[in-house]
Amino acid sequence: MTLPSGSRLGAYEIVSSIGAGGMGEVYKAHDPRLDRAVAIKVLPEKLAADADALARFEREAKAVAALSHPNILGIYELGRDSGVAYAAMELLTGETMRQRLAEGPIPQRRALEYGLQIAQGLAAAHEKGIVHRDLKPENLFITSEGRVKILDFGLASRRPLDAAETDQTAAHSMAKDSLTALPTEASPLTEPGMVLGTAGYMSPEQVRGRPADARSDIFSLGCVMYEMLTGDRAFRRDSAVETMAAIVQTDPPELSMPTGRLSPVVDRILRHCLEKRPEHRFDTAHDLAFALETAAGGTVTSGVAAAVAPAPEVRRRAPLLPLAGLALAAVALAAFFAGRRWQGPAASAAAGRALRPVSFFPVTDAPGVESSPALSPDGKNVVYVRDLSDRKALYLLRVGGRNPVALTPDSTADDWQPAFSPDGERIAFRSERDGGGIFVMGSTGESVKRVTDSGYNPSWSPDGREIALSDSSFYYPTDRGGQSLGLFAVEAATGRRRDILKGADGMQPSWSPHGDRIAYWGLRGSSGQRDLWTVAADGSQANAGAVEVTNDTALDWSPTWSPDGKFLYFSSNRGGTMNIWRARIEEKTGRVLAEPEPVTTPSLWSGELSFSRDGKRVAYASLDWRSTLLKIAFDPESEKTVGSPQRVLKTPQPIRDHQVSPDGEWVAFGQTGGQEDIFVSRMDGKESRRLTDDGFRDRGPAWSPDGKTLAFYSDRSGTYQVWEIRPDGSGLERLTSFRGSANFPIWSPDGTAIVSEEIGGAWHWIDGRPGASPRSDRIMPDMEGPEKFWPLSWSRDGSLIAGIAVHPNGGVLDVVTYSIATKSFEKFDAGVSRTWRSPVFLADGRRLLVRDSHGVSILDIAAKRFRPLFSVGGYAVGGSVGITRDNRWITYTETGTEGDVWVADLK
Q: What is each CA distance from 860 to 538, 814, 863, in whole angstroms?
A: 50, 14, 5
Quick count: other Cβ atoms within 10 Å of Cβ 539?
Answer: 17
Mapped to the 3 state alphabet, what secondary structure does 40-87 carry? EEECCHHHHCCHHHHHHHHHHHHHHHCCCCCCECCEEEEEEECCEEEE
> Which residue in the list 31, 52, 81, 134 is annotated as catalytic?
134
Residue 111 backbone phi and psi in degrees, to 5: -65, -40
Q: Amino acid identity of 394?
A: L
Could you confirm whether 134 is annotated as catalytic?
yes
| Enclosing H/E stretch for 167 | helix 163-172
CA distance 795 to 750: 11
The sign of the dihedral angle between the CA atoms of 401, 402, 408, 412 is positive
Beta-bridge mates of residue 490 = 467, 497
Whether the upstream peptide bond of residue 774 has omega within 30° of 0, thus cis, is yes
Of 700, 694, 784, 708, give the one whose Cα is nearest residue 741. 700
**DSSP state for residue 643 in the 8-state scheme:** E
Quote the distance between the C-alpha of residue 284 and its chain's center: 16
CA distance 315 to 576: 21
**DSSP state for residue 814 in the 8-state scheme:** E
Quick count: other Cβ atoms within 10 Å of Cβ 645?
Answer: 17
Contacts of 860 (CB under 8 A, 6+ apart): 846, 847, 867
CA distance 508 to 522: 9
Cβ pair 377, 613 in contact under 8 A: yes
Q: Amino acid identity of 638?
A: S
By three-state DSSP, how is residue 476 classified?
A: strand
Beta-bridge mates of residue 689 = 680
Cβ pair 661, 653 in contact under 8 A: no
**DSSP state for residue 862 in the 8-state scheme:** T
CA distance 717 to 835: 31
Beta-bridge mates of residue 427 = 420, 441
Quick count: other Cβ atoms within 10 Å of Cβ 528?
Answer: 21
Whether the upstream peptide bond of residue 749 has omega within 30° of 0, thus cis, is no
Cβ pair 741, 761 in contact under 8 A: no
Q: What is each CA distance from 236 to 97, 107, 140, 197, in whole angstroms?
A: 17, 21, 19, 15
Contacts of 107 (CB under 8 A, 6+ apart): 259, 260
Q: Amino acid identity of 359?
A: S
CA distance 681 to 648: 8
Cβ pair 387, 404 in contact under 8 A: no
CA distance 141 to 52: 30
Residue 805 backbone phi and psi in degrees, to 5: -95, 120
538: burial class by Cβ within 10 Å (0-12, 13-18, 19+)? Answer: middle
Beta-bridge mates of residue 892 = 630, 881
Q: Are strands 579-584 and 466-470 parallel, antiparallel or unpaired?
A: unpaired
Q: What angle do CA 572, 616, 264 make, to 5 degrees?
A: 35
Residue 817 backbone phi and psi in degrees, to 5: -120, 150
Q: Amino acid identity of 351?
A: A
Q: Are strands 140-143 and 94-96 parallel, antiparallel or unpaired?
A: antiparallel
List, by residue number, the catalytic residues: 134
